[in-house]
Amino acid sequence: MVGVFDRALRAVAGVESGTSEQSPASGVADEPLTRAQRRHAAGLMRVNHAGEIAAQALYHGQALGARDSAVREAMEKAATEEGDHLAWCRERLSELDAAPSRLDPFWYAASFAIGAMAARAGDRYSLGFVAETEHQVVEHLDRHLERLPPGDRRSRRILERMRADEQAHATGAIAAGGVPLPRIVRRLMRHVSKSMTCSAYYL
C-alpha cells in the first residue's frame, strides 16, 4: 500500500518515473506566438497534462488488480511510458509560463478508482478498458492538434508522439485479449473525459 501512495504522490508532483526519453520537442523551434495563442496553447497542454495524470492512475489501479502477471507487467510498462508523456507536458507548460491543473489530485484519485474497478471485472475487460480509453485519447489528441496555434511547433511535436504511443497501447491491449466494452460504459467514459477536459483547460 505504501508503494501505491508513493506512486500517487510522484505522479501528482510531476516526478513519476518514465523511461527518461528526451522530449520530442527537443531541438524544435516555435514561431512567435501572441499572448492569446500562448494562453490557448497552455490551456490545451494543461488538459493533456491532466490526462496523463489520469492515465498514470488508471494503469496503477489496473496493475494493482490484475490477475495475470503478464497483464500486470503490460500495465506497468504502459504507465512508465505515460510517465514520459507526463514529463513532456509538464515541461511544455513551464515553457508557456503556465501551471498544471489544480485539480490533478482529484483526477488521480478518481482515475485510480476507475482503474481498480476495471481490474475487478477481469483482465480481458481491463484490457478492453485500456483499448477504449486509448481510442478516445487518440480522438482527443486529433482535436487538440487541430486547435493548436499553427506556430506552436513544440507542443505539436509532443502531441504527435503521444498520439502514436497511445495508438500503440490500444493495439497492444486488443492483441493481448481485450474485449469491447458495453456501449453504456463507453458513453460514460466519454462523459467523464469531457468533464475533465472542460475543467482542466481553465483550472
Domain ranges of the chain: 33-202
User: pLDDT tens for residues 162-193?
Assistant: 999 999 999 999 998 999 998 998 998 888 88
Give Cα separations from 145 to 10, 49, 120, 150, 152 (angstroms): 28, 15, 35, 9, 10
> Is 16's pLDDT higher than 70?
no
CA distance 191 to 177: 26
Closest of 39, 50, 110 to residue 86, by C-alpha: 50
Spatial separation of the C-alpha atoms in residues 105 and 8, rounded to whole Å: 8
Minimum mean pLDDT among 37-46, 54-63, 138-147: which range?
54-63
C-alpha cell at 114: 476507475
With contact defined as beta carbons under 8 Å apart, do 72 and 109 qualify? no
Q: Do 98 and 42 form a contact (C-beta atoms < 8 A)?
A: yes
DSSP assignment letter at 33: -
At 82-122, the pLDDT tens digits run: 889 999 999 999 999 999 999 998 988 888 988 898 899 99
pTM exceeds 0.85: yes
What's the pLDDT at 5? 47
Give me the CATH code for the 33-202 domain, please.
1.20.1260.10
pLDDT level of residue 2 (50, 70, 90 thresholds): very low
Contacts of 178 (CB under 8 A, 6+ apart): 124, 125, 126, 127, 128, 129, 130, 131
Q: Which amino acid is at 120?
A: R
